[in-house]
Structure 1
Amino acid sequence: MDPAVFDGAVAAVALLAGPEGRLLYTNAAFTRMFGARQVGLPAREAFADPDGWRFLSVLDEVRATGRARQVTGAREPDPDAPAQSRYFVYSCSPVTTQEGDGILVVAMDTTTETFALQRYRALVSAVSVMIWVVHADGAMEEIVPGWERLTGAPWHPRADTGWYAHVHPRDRDRLGACWRDAATRGAGGVFQCTFRVRAADGSYRHLSTRGVPVLREGRVAEWIAATVDIEDTWRAQLRERLLARVATVTGQSLGEAFGEVVKIVVPELTDACLILLLSHEEWPLPEHAPVTARRVASATRPGLPAPPALLGQSVTVTRKVREVLESRVPRTFGIPVGGPVPAELLPAVTERWLAASGATSVTLIPLVVDDIVLGYAATSTNGDTPTLGPTETELLREVLHHAQQPIRKALDLQSARRTALALQRAQLTRPPTVGGASLAASYQPASSANEIGGDWYDAFLLPDGTLVLDVGDVVGHDLAAATAMTQMRNMLRALAYSRGPGATPADVLARFDEAAEGLGAASFATAVHTQLRRLPDLRWHVSWSNAGHPPPLLIPAHGGPLFLDGTQEDLPLCVDLSVPRSTHTRVLGAGDTLLLYTDGLVETPTAPFADGQRRLARAAARHRRAALPELLHGLQSLSDHRDDTAMIAFRADSPESP
């Protein structure tokens, strides 16, 4: 070998030969990197530097084994001429020279690359990034460490036998699917996944990993990935998302509002959540009187058994629950594996459900609105879900606290509903006792909290014994409608009584239109005003005027039911005073029944009005022999309870009547 060929090489080159490794040659690059060396000296004299023993040991190994070696090294600056350390990589290869067996040394300065790598490692360490490589055989190597610091466990070179054990059980399938998808796409694939890893303290933290393939000769040789702890960012985004969803809750009743809230926190924060409201509406709770809590809403995550029905779910508030409510601080009760569920916190059916669903903990969170404790939320973790920590519990409490606005709205509607219902029932007096006939009336409020409408009925006797029956419906479903109903009912009653039996039903309604218009009390409403007079032979003469209301239903003692439509339809009340009203008449036979009702009994949003009338007629025929209270009860099942319903029924005595 002629070493002169290396004179202009960029790499540092040296040639040694003989048993002592005598230095035969160095080029200019070698001199710049390692300093001048005297040619002709044995290696131990030519490289007598304090750290030269490392280099000499490599030469001895190559000479003894006959195999090349490649190693990295560093040179410290001269204490008399301070400068930064220099890093290099060199190879020692056996060669044949004119003087016998020798070793060719080739070295490259890697200082720039080494410093760049050090800076990169320092940077990713500063931002809590872990860097790791997946080799072709599936082995994993951690380049920038962080795994042990996070999990408390040493890094494991295999994901399937050690690494996956720290991943949340419900994230493992998704993590594996992301990896298989990226591997299938090969050179064009990118591995990206967010998953939870169990930290050293037992909690789970969200990590985000992104990996890209490393190609050699056009093929994927390995994958390099970066993993970042995003727990704080993830939790902040979750909080914003949940609070934004709570702001959209629109439930009109407490049950509806809380029903929306529990679906927000499940499964984002907990596996199951149920809401229990106190039966006692004042605070603080009485010391010696029993107080119960009734479940009004619940939700469970997919994969758990369905929760029991809401009906009949209540529990007596025990001292343990009182302590939580009075402190207004959430409290978590752990459940040992296979152990009993804490008793007297929840309804018995819920306790059985918790046991069946593998609950591991129950957390009680007081529900406070305007400094009043309404009840409490009970959440559970089930199966492999870890028990809620302080951070998760506080976020749950905050989400429930931010539900105050829709809950307060529901409470206001509930209060208005109570007021309206009290007003309704105060006006809907018991029908009078009438000789020769029987009467019964019924009022059923709507099931929705904001449906507190203006349906009403009335029954009273005029001085000559004429029986007046009224039924009506004021447009609207709020306290204003209930108030207008009260005014109209009282006004119609006064006009009918003052004008006496000589006034026809049409006269009374026409006079009502004039009075309401003049007094500024006009409201859009429908009504049927009816007068009944007893005849000597057990029959009754009935006359009525219909102001845009569903027609009365005649249920004869014999024959099919018949709607009394009259010969024309009059306008609703308070619409047009110039249009005359009409009176219709009919004679009721002994045992015949007359039913006045409001549209909530027959009208639904999904079917024509005529279908509702047909259902009413068929049901009335089935119940015609029942006493009037039982008849009204049977007909009440026709309503879908979207609207309130008022009914009043009159039945002429038959010869068989007592």
Structure 2
Amino acid sequence: MSRTGREKGVPELEPEVFDRAIVAVALTAGPEHRLVYYNEAFHDLFGPRPLGVPVGEAFAEPAAERFLDLLGAVHEDKAPRQVTTPRTTEGTDPGAPGRRHFVYSLSPVVSRHGPGVLTVAIDTTAHIEAAERAEELSEQRHQALQRYEALLSAVSQNVWLMSPDGVITELMGGFEEFTGLPWRPRIDQVWLDAVHPQDRAGLVQTFRDAARGTPSMFVCTFRLRAASGEYRRVQSRAVPVVRGGVTVEWVGTTADIEDQWRNRLRERLLARVATVTAAQDVAQAFGATAAAVVPELTDACAVFLLPAPGLPGPGPGGAPTATRIASTARAGLPDLPPLSDQSYQVGPVVQQVIESRRPRLVTFPSGSPPSGIVPDVSTAWLRTVRATSLTIVPIVIDAAVVAFAVAAACADSPPPGPADLALLGEVLHEVRDPLRQALELQRTRQTALTLQRALLTPTPRVPGAELAAHYQPASKTAEIGGDWYDALLLPDGSVALTIGDIAGHDLEAATSMSQLRSMLRVIAYDQAHSGPPADSLARLDRVADGLGIAPLVTAVHVQLTPRPGGGWHAAWSNAGHPPPLLLPVSGQPRFLRGEGPDLPLCVDPSLPRTTWHEDLRTGDTLLLYTDGLIEVPGTDLTEGMAHLAAHADEAQSDGVTLAALCGRLLAAADSRRDDAAVIGFRPIAQGRVWTGMWR
């Protein structure tokens, strides 16, 4: 936490002070980790090693791989490492002293060779701890520890000793400078008051876990209140000092890692913007936006969508209204209120944020949020979680505020600091492009859906027949396809039914659908030139291909003619579409496949097309449908067709109207990813009341 030795005028490390140290000491320099020094104890422990070469050449044995990795880590993040699990050297190199056990530590230093890493290794081989030298060794090791602590005081961290009951008895480094608290000879557990409230329990539990049973290394990252009043992240590392099988104290270091942590956090948060890009609709995009900042930057976040420009929205007095479209909270907090389409009139604080396009931090006593910033149901939730602040951030796209995010500090957490607010604003700024795409896609989808619904006109009343049709847009995607159906009562009393699907899932597909539908209506109505269904589709194919209306179109076109004495005759042609389904009044359902469908439209207009024929009895049901009704990801189309036939046959057996039957089929496909359409025809006895519906 203190400044580096060079900044404080402390001289560079002179490694020769360790020449006669009882612990093994080596010094490497530079990012390539050149071995520039080692003392006699190091020579005795590891044997002769060449100086001036990268340490990877000096320690070529496979067992040294972990040591090399730790050297790179210490040089990179300037944080010391300690390996308290005994390591072993086999001593197979020439001049090596034989098999030895040791532990070691690595610390970043600056010497006359430049920045480097100091390695301190202690020989733990049992036979050197003879009883008659125990006292002497203890003193020598104590001197080595003093030298090591002196070295650590030259880097930006505190070194401390703590008793097993949590009382700090010795402290070196910039404790006063960092915390603004005066140093006392003994610091009891009152120092926990400076730890962030949300980190205290985790810090205590981590220490207890390290101290339980056989004590092990303690490592914990937490937030500590600095002299400025802000919380900064620090990392403490400590090892137990065990004598006679009893832990008598802990020796550790605490380093300020706020800048490193924040840089890594910024990278992680900006990487989460990719999840917003992958969102399929506006609600999912804003949901990913809220999730990107929880829990690292805030305890809870909600996004409120404002009405699009030109659409109704301002409440009484001209105040804007907003709708909560997404919200998320960190684990451990109560469930958020469920989302609803109900909008609320924003208060003066939010209105000021919208008009100024600047974020605003609102602080208040724990559990006492002001009204008007969020809906009443959200305000009640904030009281329950003891919120202490709200940060309102406008989301600006193309110079217009389209939404705003509200981030909450909960559970008595202190308000966010300037760095947190800046990073929160940066993340929400970075999501502008994916949010713009989602909004544009929603507008395009709505336009296409409006066009599509406008063209799906009600089915006509047909004497002697029941006619019904349903259309359902996709429920799990932002896409709209080119599905369409049509039913046309012709001058001679016959009926033309068509169902089709145009490749594409956008406004262009919907526009192409409208053109093809209109052209086929003209062709079918002009009975003097239309001919059988195959001729009608062939004429449509030539025109569509010549005008370049669509890349690929599938369709089934049926002409139904009443038969003398009852029933109807169906003549149909299939251009690459799923086959019609016939539900006989008695018997099993079957698909009218003929010898297979012809090619889709707009592929090769020169190829001939085929007309197939089928007689329908009174009570039979003919269904035309699009693949959205039978297509299930991960399954074969034949499975979907079999399911459709079984479901339709069950509905037919229940005696439901044709409109109800079509509705049930569409309801079964409610969670499909594609839109779906179905149109049905059923001959009825003359004089029966027609009960068809359209939706």
Q: TM-score by structure 1 length?
A: 0.72
> How far 1:166 sits from its partner (Å)?
2.4
Whether contact under 8 Å (1:313, 1:349) holds in the other structure is no
Once the two structures are TM-superposed, the CA of residue 141 in structure 1 deviates from its matched residue by 2.8
Mean Cα displacement is larger for which, 439-448 or 218-227? 218-227
What SS class does the counterpart of residue 637 from structure 1 fall into? helix
1:246 touches 1:403 (CA, 8 Å); kept in 2?
yes
Post-superposition Cα deviations, 1:289-311, rounded to whole Å, max 9, x if no partner, equal 67532222221111122223324
Residue 644 of structure 1 aligns with which residue? 675
SS in 2 for 1:362: strand
Change (3 A) 1:627 1:165: same
SS of 2:396 mapped into structure 1: strand
Q: CA deviation at 1:473?
A: 0.7
* C-alpha separation in 2, matches of 1:652 and 1:392: 70
**Mean Cα displacement is larger for which, 395-404 or 498-507?**
498-507
CA distance in 2, matches of 1:319, 1:169: 32
Q: Displacement of 1:202 after TM fit?
A: 4.7
Aligned to 2:221: 194
Spell out, residue by residue over 1:37-82, the C-alpha distance to the aligned partner (whole angstroms, 9 max, x if none). Answer: xxxxxxxxxxxxxxxxxxxxxxxxxxxxxxxxxxxxxxxxxxxxxx
Q: 1:277 aligns with which of 296, 305, 316?
A: 305
Aligned counterpart in structure 2 of residue 242 of structure 1, from 263, 266, 269: 269
**1:593-632, aligned counterparts within 5 Å?**
593-624=621-652, 625-632=655-662
d(CA) in 2 for partners of 1:604 and 1:137?
A: 63
Name the counterpart of 1:232.
259
Change (3 A) 1:136 1:255: closer
2:502 and 2:550 in contact (8 A); partners too: no
Q: Distance in 2 between matches of 1:168 and 1:156?
A: 22
Verify the 8 A CA contact 1:139 1:157 in the aligned structure 2.
no
Q: CA deviation at 1:196?
A: 0.9
Measured against aligned partners, the alpha-carbon deviations of 1:257-280 in whole angstroms (never above 9, x if no partner) come to 112222211111111112111234
Please state whether the residue corresponding to 2:668 is helix, strand or coil: coil
TM alignment of 1:148-297, pairs within 5 A: 148-155=176-183, 161-176=189-204, 178-179=206-207, 190-200=217-227, 202-211=229-238, 222-249=249-276, 250-282=278-310, 286=314, 288=317, 291-297=320-326
Q: Structure 1: how far apart are the matches of 2:561 and 2:201?
A: 80
2:539 paired residue number:
511
Query: Take 2:535 and 2:152, find their aligned partners in 1: how far apart are those partners?
Result: 97
1:470 CA displacement: 0.7
Distance 2:623 2:616 in 1: 12
Aligned mates of 2:638, 2:534 — CA distance in 1: 26
2:410 aligned to 363, 382, 385, which one?
382
Q: CA deviation at 1:409?
A: 1.3
Q: CA deviation at 1:482?
A: 2.6
Percent identity over paired residues: 49
Report the equivalent of 1:420: 448
Q: Which amino acid aligns with 2:324?
A: R
Q: Give, as a single letter, the amino acid of the residue that structure 2 aligns with 1:242.
A: L
Q: Which SS does the other structure have where 2:272 is aligned? A: helix
2:268 partner letter: R
User: CA–CA distance in 2 between the matches of 1:479 and 1:139?
Assistant: 70
Q: What is the rounded CA distance, in whole Å, between the counterparts of 1:295 and 1:138 in structure 2?
A: 47
Alpha-carbon spacing, 1:135–1:511, altered in 2? closer, same or farther (3 Å):
same
Residue in 1 that maps onto 2:360: 331
> How is 1:308-347 mapped onto 2 (pairs within 5 angstroms)?
308-339=337-368, 341-347=369-375
Deviation at 1:337, TM superposition (A): 3.7
CA gap 1:215/1:505 in 2 versus in 1, 3 angstroms: same
Q: Which residue of 2 aligns with 1:657?
A: 689
Residues 633, 309 of structure 1: alpha-carbon distance in 2 compared, 3 angstrom cutoff: farther
Partner of 1:530: 558
Aligned partner letter, 2:253: A
2:665 counterpart residue number: 635
RMSD of the TM alignment (CA)? 3.6
Conservation of the 8 A alpha-carbon contact between 1:445 and 1:641: no
- How high is the TM-score relative to the length of structure 2? 0.69
In the other structure, the counterpart of 2:336 is: 307
Could you tell which deviates more after superposition, 269-278 or 231-240? Answer: 231-240
CA contact (8 A) 1:524 1:574 kept: yes
Extract unaligned runs of 5+ from structure 2.
1-143, 691-695
From the superposition, tell whether residues 271 and 567 of structure 1 become closer, same or farther in structure 2 (CA, over 3 Å): same
Letter in 1 for 2:189: T
Deviates most, 442-451 or 391-400: 442-451
The gaps in structure 1 that reach 5 residues or longer are 1-112
Which segment drifts farther, 574-583 or 357-366? 574-583
Residues 344 and 534 (structure 1 numbering): CA distance in 2 closer, same or farther, change over 3 Å?
farther
Question: Which structure: larger Rg?
Answer: 1
CA contact (8 A) 1:594 1:649 kept: yes
Once residues 330 and 260 of structure 2 are traced to their aligned partners in structure 1, the CA distance between those partners, rounded to angstroms, is 24
Change (3 A) 1:522 1:293: closer
Counterpart amino acid of residue 632 in structure 1: C
Could you tell me whether the CA contact under 8 Å between 1:437 and 1:653 is conserved in 2? yes
Change (3 A) 1:576 1:259: same
* Residue 369 (structure 1) shift: 0.9
Q: Give yes or no for the alignment of 1:298 onto 2:327.
A: yes
> How much does 1:399 deviate?
0.9
Give CA-to-partner distance per residue, 1:459-518, whole Å, 9 cap, x none. 223343321111011122223333332343333333333464761112222333344444
Distance 1:289 1:183, change over 3 A: closer
Q: Secondary structure of 1:401's match? A: helix
Q: Within 2, Cα distance between the matches of 1:636 and 1:294?
A: 30
> Is the contact made by 2:456 and 2:486 (CA closer than 8 Å) also made in structure 1?
yes
CA distance in 1: counterparts of 2:214 and 2:259, whole angstroms: 32
Q: What amino acid sits opposite 2:682 in the alignment?
A: R
